[in-house]
Amino acid sequence: MTKLKDKVTSLESKKTSRRKFFKAAAATGAVAAASLAMPNISVAQSAVTLKMQSAWGPSDADPFFEMNKQYARKVEAMSGGSLKVEVLPVNAVLKTAEIADGVSTGVVDAGHTVTAYWYGKNPASSLFGTGPSYGFSSQELMGWIEYGGGRALYEETLKATKLDYVGFFAMPMPAQPFGWFKKELKSVADVKGMKYRTVGLATNVLQGMGMTVLQLPGGEIQPAMKTGLIDAAEFNNPSSDKNFGMQDVSKFYSLGSFHQSQEMFEITFNTKKFNSLSKQHQSILRIAAEAANSDNYWYALKRYSDDLNKLVKESGVKPFPTPKDILAEQMKSWDKVVADFSAKDPLFKRIVESQKAYAKSVMKYLFMNQPDYTIAYRQYFGDPSKVVV
């Protein structure tokens, strides 16, 4: 009891000292400087820490893990330290496929992943990142989510899947490479019967092209290709692929594909935990995702391009554009897959129809207005596929 009284007396003494200090500071015009120097005891006492299970890491060299931490740093900075996100590497508490359920049930407070990882629970999840393009990239798909009716459909999909969390999106990923092959692809005939790794609806699309598809976690891809379990594979980007050591099992890298041409991160928070936060903290979690959207993308473009150059120079990797007949076959397969799932699931069909309506309008403007930027690039540097950096 004596110790408690001493603490109260000490705090009262500090409050009295502060009042005297402010009076003196006001007299000298130094209030602003004094407020900056004063210790912020209330923030330290009321700080909230959310445990976020990442689908990435644990190495800081993992670009996605770094992007996850960029988001966490923004949350802390925007809240003045009153809200923190502790980023846990993949498998720290939950495996990749367990994250959606783990956040929903409160095993962890939050998750940083992609919707395709709960594709097994509901194929419609793949439409929020690994669905058909309709001419748009991930930038425009995110525009559809926020301004084209996509958010309401996303929340309806969560409810239909019995996932109890609040989700935000960040990082409009560049179109993913078709991946790593034992030889350069010349035509669609080269992929028939091939054992290949991907995730989400892309699994159905490539199976429709005559490929045998396995869904494997990122860390298992390179060993599977090394042992012959699969013949070819994709993950996401040159930096992640380089970290996995794909250049040690293949030298032929097919760039540009419609199998996963517009994906982004899904940042999730357990609903009960999210609702327990102040309105200010809730807004910070949402706005930080918007800020990370730009930061992640800028970081990705620089790192991906640097790592692609390293793969070519240091490892003898031979990047090449995916043949046009393969792209055409992918589009045909997408049409069949979408038609099949739409016939089974009215919600799936409504999501597709909403995306098509948005793309038809927005992409018309973009395609009519934006110049062909490859013209400018070729004028100064030459054919992009042959430029040595």
The reported pLDDT for the residue numbered 45 is: 53
Residue that wins the pLDDT comparison between 4 and 130: 130
Q: Is the pLDDT of residue 160 over 60?
A: yes
β-bridge pairing 110-113 and 265-270: antiparallel
Distances (CA, A) of 343 to 337, 339, 346, 352: 10, 6, 7, 12
Q: Rounded mean pLDDT of 334-361?
A: 97
Could you give the CA distance from residue 80 to residue 75 in angstroms, rounded to a whole number? 9
- Confidence grade of residue 358 (pLDDT, cut at 50, 70, 90): very high
Q: Is residue 142 part of a domain?
A: yes
Mean pLDDT, the chain, as a whole number? 89
Q: Rounded mean pLDDT of 37-52?
A: 66
Q: Is the pLDDT of residue 13 over 70?
A: no
How many domains, the chain? 1
Q: Is residue 344 part of a domain?
A: no
Q: Rounded mean pLDDT of 104-129?
A: 96
Q: Is residue 367 part of a domain?
A: no
The reported pLDDT for the residue numbered 388 is: 84
- Confidence grade of residue 165 (pLDDT, cut at 50, 70, 90): very high
Q: Is the pLDDT of residue 353 over 90?
A: yes
Q: Is residue 254 part of a domain?
A: no
Q: Provide, rounded to the nearest whole percent, the portion of the chain with pLDDT above 70.
A: 88
Tokens 């400087």 label which residue? Answer: 33
Tens of pLDDT, residues 185-213? 999 999 999 999 998 899 999 999 999 99
The reported pLDDT for the residue numbered 352 is: 98
Cα-to-chain-centroid distance, residue 326: 26
Q: Is the pLDDT of residue 16 over 70?
A: no
Could you give the CA distance from residue 83 to residue 93 in angstroms, rounded to a whole number? 21
The reported pLDDT for the residue numbered 1 is: 40
CATH number for 87:
3.40.190.170
Nearby residues of 209 by Cβ (< 8 Å), 6 or more positions away: 188, 191, 192, 329, 330, 333
Q: Is residue 97 part of a domain?
A: yes
Q: Provide the greatest CA pair distance for the chain.
A: 84
Amino acid at 141: L
Which residue range(s) make up the domain with 162? 42-174+263-302
CB 376 within 8 A of CB 166: no
Residue that wins the pLDDT comparison between 61 and 106: 106
Tens of pLDDT, residues 294-309? 999 999 999 999 999 9
Quick one: tokens of 187?
A: 């035509």
Q: Provide, rounded to the nearest whole percent, the portion of the chain with pLDDT above 90.
A: 83
Q: 58 preceded by cis ω (within 30°)?
A: yes
Rounded to the nearest 10 degrees, the angle between the axes of helix 138-147 and helix 150-160 is 80
Quick one: tokens of 13?
A: 């003494």
Tokens 């031979």 label which residue? Answer: 318
Tens of pLDDT, residues 221-278? 999 999 999 999 999 999 999 999 999 999 999 999 999 999 999 999 999 999 999 9
* Coil vs helix vs strand at 105: helix
210 bridge partner residues: none
- Confidence grade of residue 5 (pLDDT, cut at 50, 70, 90): very low
Q: Is residue 225 part of a domain?
A: no
Q: Is residue 164 part of a domain?
A: yes
Could you give the CA distance from residue 216 to residue 230 in angstroms, rounded to a whole number? 10
The reported pLDDT for the residue numbered 34 is: 37
Q: Is residue 223 part of a domain?
A: no
